[in-house]
Amino acid sequence: MNSVFRHEIKFCCRYSEADRIYQWLHSSSGAIRKQYPDRFVNNIYFDWFNLQDASDNLVGLGRREKLRLRWYGEQDAVSPMQLERKIRRVRMGSKHIVQLGAFSVSRMSKHALLQGILSRGPESAALGSELRLRNPVVRNRYLREYYQDGSGRLRLTIDREQAFYSIDRHRDVLSANRIDYPLLVIELKYADDSHAHVRSTMNGFPLRPVRHSKYLAGLARVFELAYF
């Protein structure tokens, strides 16, 4: 499944500043309301063995991609899994989603994880040559809040309680220790023809946009690199 390209604008703040965000949401008088119940999001990020995807992101390459496995809820549960290719074209993003069916990554090694994905059907097998050259590098988990304006043209998410985990070659992909992340990540998503509407709706929002990648932030935490 392919989604359309949308603008994706990110903001970050520390937990001590979070009240400003919720106060702004409350003051919007219902213009932006919670759309779905909160839920945990789990991701395993794949990269080339030379971390080319990370390098492309760091230098701000206008055309870049990344590959991740995503599921919702408990990290060790049998859950519907999806393989997502995130596509970035300058300031807009889209993704191609391959539904893999329900399984659990619990007690899977890196090798077992790759084989498990490749065995899930013809569309995942079509990514086989690429997956075999990629490596599951880092895992993250966060609690996501979902908001939307009344017109449905603007989506806003708040990601909190984020944690990162390394992935050891010879161990269960869920076995690493938790590394907490001190920031909330807020993201706006909207279509290219909605600029004026978004500017009006977001008037007074207390944060400025930043460049931010959960994948790069995870690499920084897990491998103690200078990113955040």
Spatial CA neighbour of 77 closest among 44, 103, 95 = 103
Q: How far apart are CA 205 and CA 16, in angstroms?
A: 16
Alpha-carbon distances of 129 from 114, 133, 201, rounded to whole Å: 11, 7, 44
Predicted TM-score (pTM) of this structure? 0.93
What pLDDT is recorded for position 228? 43
Domains of the chain (ranges, CATH numbers): 6-223 (3.20.100.30)
pLDDT tens for each residue of 47-57? 998 999 999 99
pLDDT tens for each residue of 26-55? 997 668 999 999 999 999 999 998 999 999
Q: How far apart are CA 60 and CA 136, in angstroms?
A: 22
pLDDT tens for each residue of 182-199? 999 999 999 999 989 999
CB distance 156 to 186 below 8 Å: yes
